[in-house]
Structure 1
Amino acid sequence: MKRETVAEHIVDVFVYVVVLNLAAQFAPKVITETFLMSLLVAVLLKLVLEVVVLFKKRALARVGGAPTRAGKAIGVLTLVVLIPGAKFVVLWLVDVLFGDAVSLGGFWLVTGLIITLMAARAGVRWLLTKT
Structure 2
Amino acid sequence: MGGRRHVPGPEHVIDVFVYVVVLNLTAQYAPEVITETFTTSLLVALLLKLVLEVVLAAKRKAKRRFTAAQTPLGKAGGLLTLAVLLPGSKILVLELVAFVFGDAVSLGGFFTVTALIIALLLARLGVRRLLELPEDRV
TM-score above 0.5: yes
> Whole-Å Cα distance in 2 between the matches of residues 53 and 72 of structure 1?
19
> Whole-Å Cα distance in 2 between the matches of residues 16 and 79 of structure 1?
24
Map of 1:60 onto structure 2: 63
Map of 1:109 onto structure 2: 112
* Paired amino acid for 1:51: V
1:112-131 paired onto structure 2 within 5 Å: 112-129=115-132
Find 1:40's aligned residue among 43, 51, 72. Answer: 43
Map of 1:16 onto structure 2: 19
What SS is found at the alignment partner of 2:31?
Answer: coil
> Whole-Å Cα distance in 1 between the matches of residues 80 and 103 of structure 2?
34
**1:92 to 2:75 alignment:** no
Q: CA deviation at 1:5?
A: 5.2
Residues 53-90 of structure 1 show CA distances to partners (whole Å, capped at 9, x for unaligned) of 11111111111101111111111000000000000000
Map of 1:81 onto structure 2: 84
Residues 28-48 of structure 1 show CA distances to partners (whole Å, capped at 9, x for unaligned) of 000000011100100111111
More helix by share: 1
Map of 1:26 onto structure 2: 29
> Whole-Å Cα distance in 2 between the matches of residues 31 and 67 of structure 1?
46
> Whole-Å Cα distance in 2 between the matches of residues 119 and 67 of structure 1?
33
Q: TM-score, normalised by structure 1?
A: 0.94
Equivalenced residue count is: 127
> Whole-Å Cα distance in 2 between the matches of residues 5 and 85 of structure 1?
26
CA RMSD of aligned residues (A): 1.3
Q: TM-score, normalised by structure 2?
A: 0.89
Give 5+ residue unaligned stretches, structure 1: none
Give 5+ residue unaligned stretches, structure 2: 1-6, 134-138
